[in-house]
Amino acid sequence: MPYPRFAALILLLGCLASTPVLAQAGSDLFPVRQGGKFGYMSTGGKVVIAPQFDFADRFSDGVAPVIIGRKYGYINPAGKFVINPQFDYAWHFNGGIAMILQENQFGYINKQGAIVVKPQFDSASKEFRDGLALVKIGGPFGKWGFINTQGKYEINPQYAAALEFSSGMAAVKVDKTWGYVNKTGTFVVPASFDNARSFADGFAAVQINGKWGFIDTTGKLQINVQFEDAREFRDGVAAVQFKTKWGYVDKRGKYVVNPQYDAVSNHFSDGLAQVLVKDTETWGYIDKKGNMVIAPTFQQTTSFTEGTAAVRSAGKWGFISKTGKFLVNPIFDDAEPFSAGIAAVEVKEKWGYIDKTGKYIWALSK
């Protein structure tokens, strides 16, 4: 496995910001690097766990994966190992189970470090959904199936491709067509689609003869196939591409934002969505009525979290409010969204943390 970079660690901060992890032990601790070693600080910038690890990741489920000597283990918020370093790679715990990699095979452990599912899969999902994990055996051209938390197959490997369970169903590919199965492996929506996405908000995007539409959980087409591409519903709207432009539709198939943008974010966040105007190659933000509330003037953008978004302007990153005004001027080479009131920023390959005024909570360091 390639050695993890600090940038990869920082990237996780935005991903974890909206998860239930933040309500758990260790959620107020952030990885920091000092003198070539990783430790943890509090949101106030105080070192809580002394730098001693070769790599450190965020806490989830009360533990955090860290590296000592190129092997992954897990520590508690006191900095003590609860699972000794022994894995080639290790992921966050979710529901008391974490995926690990040993000798290029994926398996799962519990929080005591015991192997609950022996490493034996060529690929696997990072977490169990609806009590099942998606796994693959047989190499690059192998088959996909689903196991329970004891490692027993609930659905034998038989699919050319598959997606994780959502709303009690999973999209699976048989030969060249996609359909949906329940947790027993019984088809509840026959395999008749060219492509398919997971259910969300009671709808799933499906492709027929090159065009996308949406079905309900019974398999009935609720929004006719007409789009070049379509994403999942969230909060009653979905991003769709008509001809060459993107917009958003509601569950009646009515446009809430007409297709006029060259790219859009999959979902609205904090009531705003990112949109790309190709003529100027710049990004801005619209509300759910399609109003451009922040003019497209940025080279890159992130979703809003905690009332702020990281944006790139004139080659540098800064942070704006929902009015579009800079809260922190664009002076950074890289930046990640705010989490628990602080954000990771990079200048000349050194990383630090700032608060929403731009003040350093943790000074730039390597």
Helix (H) or strand (E) run with residue 148 in it? none
Please give the pLDDT value at position 335: 98
* Helix/strand number for the chain, H first, E second: 1, 39
Q: What DSSP assignment string belongs to 252-317?
A: TS-EEEEEEESEE-SS-BTTBEEEEETTTTEEEEE-TT--EEEEEEESEE---BTTBEEEEETTEE
| pLDDT one-digit tens code per residue, 158-202 | 999 999 999 999 999 999 999 999 999 999 999 999 999 999 999
Please give the pLDDT value at position 21: 35
Percentage of the chain surpassing pLDDT 70? Answer: 93
Taking residues 210-216, report their average pLDDT.
Answer: 98
Angle 23-27-29 from CA coordinates, rounded to 5°? 160
Return the DSSP state at 232.
-
pTM: 0.89
Q: What is the CATH number of the domain that holds 334?
A: 2.40.10
Lowest mean pLDDT among 12-26, 144-158, 299-313, 321-335: 12-26
- Residue 230 falls within a domain, yes or no? no
| Phi, psi of 139, deg, nearest 5 | 80, -165
**What residues contact residue 245 under an 8 Å CB cut-off, 6+ apart?**
259, 260, 261, 262
Terminal CA-CA length for the chain: 22
How many separate domains does the chain show?
A: 2
Return the DSSP state at 322.
T
User: 305-333 b/e with 16+ CB inside 10 Å = b?
Assistant: bbebbbbbbeebbbbbebebeebbebebe
How far apart, in whole angstroms, are the C-alpha atoms of residue 309 and residue 54?
A: 30
| pLDDT one-digit tens code per residue, 14-26 | 333 333 333 368 8
How far apart, in whole angstroms, are the C-alpha atoms of residue 179 and residue 160?
A: 12
- Residue 136 falls within a domain, yes or no? no
Please give the pLDDT value at position 27: 87
How far apart, in whole angstroms, are the C-alpha atoms of residue 147 and residue 173?
A: 17
Taking residues 30-43, report their average pLDDT.
Answer: 96
Which of 90, 115, 141 is where one domain is finished? 90
Positive/negative CA dihedral, 351, 353, 358, 360: negative
- Residue 61 falls within a domain, yes or no? yes
Reading the block at residue 72, the tokens are 């992954």
Name the amino acid, one letter, at 12: L
Nearest C-alpha neighbor of 212 from the set 184, 249, 265: 249
Give residue 289's domain range. Answer: 274-366
Predicted confidence (pLDDT) at residue 244 exceeds the cutoff of 70? yes
How far apart, in whole angstroms, are the C-alpha atoms of residue 109 and residue 65?
A: 13
Taking residues 79-86, report their average pLDDT.
Answer: 98
- Residue 62 falls within a domain, yes or no? yes
- Residue 191 falls within a domain, yes or no? no
Residue whose pair of structure tokens reads 């005591």 in the numeric block:
112
Predicted confidence (pLDDT) at residue 344 exceeds the cutoff of 50? yes
- Residue 7 falls within a domain, yes or no? yes
Please give the pLDDT value at position 24: 62
- Residue 234 falls within a domain, yes or no? no
**What residues contact residue 105 under an 8 Å CB cut-off, 6+ apart?**
119, 120, 121, 122
- Residue 246 falls within a domain, yes or no? no
Predicted confidence (pLDDT) at residue 96 exceeds the cutoff of 80? yes
- Residues 241 and 259 sit within 8 Å (Cβ to Cβ): yes
Reading the block at residue 46, the tokens are 């105080």
Which of 59, 90, 121 is where one domain is finished? 90
- Residues 246 and 237 sit within 8 Å (Cβ to Cβ): no
Which of 64, 90, 116 is where one domain is finished? 90
| pLDDT one-digit tens code per residue, 100-156 | 999 999 999 999 999 999 999 999 999 999 999 999 999 999 999 999 999 999 999
Predicted confidence (pLDDT) at residue 30 exceeds the cutoff of 80? yes
Predicted confidence (pLDDT) at residue 57 exceeds the cutoff of 90? yes
